Structure 1
Amino acid sequence: MLNAVEFQAKIQNGLIQILDEYKQELGEKDDIKVIVLLNKKSTQQKDIIDELTENPIQVNGILSREEIYNR
């Protein structure tokens, strides 16, 4: 009989922790099949534009966008 259980987990020291609610259902001697799906955001490398958008560099003496359009 084939049962499926789905949950999200983090890998710690190369191990996937089984949630407490599934530990009785998934015994240590059971044969299981593991399929790993990575979230896209964790697999994509950020380019410089993404990095600067999230962490803009503050430079003194440069006009802000509001100051430019108010002139």
Structure 2
Amino acid sequence: MLNAVEFQAKIQNGLIQIPDEYKQEFGEGDDIKVIVLVQKKSFPKKDIIDELTENPVQVNSVLSREEIYSR
């Protein structure tokens, strides 16, 4: 029989502390399955497209096709 318990905890010295209210549900030597979901506090790193979308490059003149390919 499976019994699921969900709680939030902080990792301290490489250990996840089980809250006191759940400790009685687990016995010494019990086989358990642990699934860890990490909630990151920082936003994902922006790539060059994100940067250019937020800060477009201003150009003074537009090059013709010939000028582009002549370089």
TM (normalized to structure 2)?
0.56
After the TM superposition, which parts of structure 1 deviate over 4 Å for at least 4 consecutive aligned residues? Answer: 44-47
Q: Work out which of the two has the higher radius of gyration on C-alpha atoms and give 1 or 2.
A: 2
Highest RCO, 1 vs 2 (Cα 8 Å, sep ≥ 6): 2
Q: After the TM superposition, which residues 11-30 of structure 1 pair with which residues of structure 2 at under 5 Å, given as runs?
A: 11-30=11-30
Q: Deviations over 1:26-63 (max 9, x none)?
A: 11211000000011325x4678xxxxxxxxxxxxxxxx
Structure 2 unmatched runs, 5+: 47-71
The CA deviation at 1:10 is: 0.5
Alpha carbon RMSD of aligned pairs, Å?
Answer: 2.0
Structure 1 unmatched runs, 5+: 48-71
